[in-house]
Amino acid sequence: MSGAVSLREVRLTGVDEAGRGPLAGPVVAAAVILDPARPVAGLADSKALTPAVRAELALALRARALAWSIGLASPAEIDALNILQATLLAMRRAVAGLALPPGHIEVDGNRLPRLADLPGVTSAQAIVRGDATRPAISAASILAKTVRDAFMEQLHTRFPAYGFAIHKGYPTAAHLAALKAHGASPAHRMTFRPVRFLSS
C-alpha cells in the first residue's frame, strides 16, 4: 500500500478575503494549497491572531505551501459592482492565479465565486466560519489579511492625512474625522455611505 497523499488531498484549496468592511482600499482574497508534508502550526482565523503572529505565519505559509495566490478588487471595482460581487471577483482572481490545479475548493462564508470554468477546479464548498475550522481557509485568511494591511500601510505614505496605517481603512472615529476634514481620497470607496455623507 502506497503512503503517497492522494491528489484530492493535496489539491484542497482554501479561499478567504480581507477588507469587506473598510471605507477605503481594495478587498483582498487569498487562495492557498497547503502541503501535508510541511504543516504550519498555529493556523487560525486571522482576526484572532496578533499582527506579529500573523506576520510569522504568513512567512511560513509562503515558504511551505504548495501554492498560494492573491487576488484583489480595487475601490473603483467595489463601487461599480458592490462589495459582495467585488469580493467574489477577488476570490476568483486568487484561485485563477494559483500555479497548481486547485482541485476541491473551500471558501469562507456562505457564497461561492464563479469557479467551475477555471482549470483544475473539481468542486467547491462555502463554509461559514471556515476561517476558524479549516486549516486551508485559515491560511488564506492570514495571507489575505497581511497583504491587505501592507497595502494600506503603503497607501498611508500617499495619503497620510487619513491614518490608513493605523485603522487600515475601517470607520474609526479618527478616520471619519479625517474624511470630514479632507474629503475622500482616490483610495476611498465612494459608494459607502459614510464616505458619501462626510465627503459631500
For the stretch 38-80, pLDDT in tens is 999 999 999 999 999 999 999 999 999 999 999 999 999 999 9
Higher pLDDT pick, 187 / 9: 187
Task: Indicate whether 155 belongs to any domain.
Answer: no
Task: Indicate whether 189 belongs to any domain.
Answer: no
Task: Indicate whether 54 belongs to any domain.
Answer: yes
Q: Which of 2-6, 66-70, 77-81, 122-126 has the lowest mean pLDDT?
A: 2-6
Find the mean pLDDT for residues 102-112. Answer: 96
Given a contact cutoff of 8 angstroms between Cβ atoms, the answer to whether 102 and 13 are in contact is: yes
For residue 144, pLDDT over 60 is answered with yes
The whole-number pLDDT of residue 200 equals: 67
Find the mean pLDDT for residues 110-138. Answer: 96
The whole-number pLDDT of residue 86 equals: 98
Q: How many domains does the chain have?
A: 1
Residue 87: which residues within 8 A CB-CB, separation 6 or more?
A: 17, 20, 27, 29, 73
Given a contact cutoff of 8 angstroms between Cβ atoms, the answer to whether 67 and 103 are in contact is: no
Cα distance between residue 154 and residue 165, in whole Å:
8
The pTM of the full predicted model, rounded to 2 decimals, is 0.93
In this structure, the strands spanning 103-108 and 27-33 are unpaired
Higher pLDDT pick, 4 / 119: 119
Task: Indicate whether 192 belongs to any domain.
Answer: no
Of all residues in the chain, the percent with pLDDT exceeding 90 is 92
Average pLDDT over the chain, rounded to whole? 93
Task: Indicate whether 198 belongs to any domain.
Answer: no
The whole-number pLDDT of residue 11 equals: 83
Task: Indicate whether 66 belongs to any domain.
Answer: yes
Cα four-point dihedral sign 44, 50, 56, 58: positive
Range of the domain at 109: 8-148
User: Which domain CATH number covers 97?
Assistant: 3.30.420.10
Task: Indicate whether 2 belongs to any domain.
Answer: no
Task: Indicate whether 194 belongs to any domain.
Answer: no
The whole-number pLDDT of residue 191 equals: 97
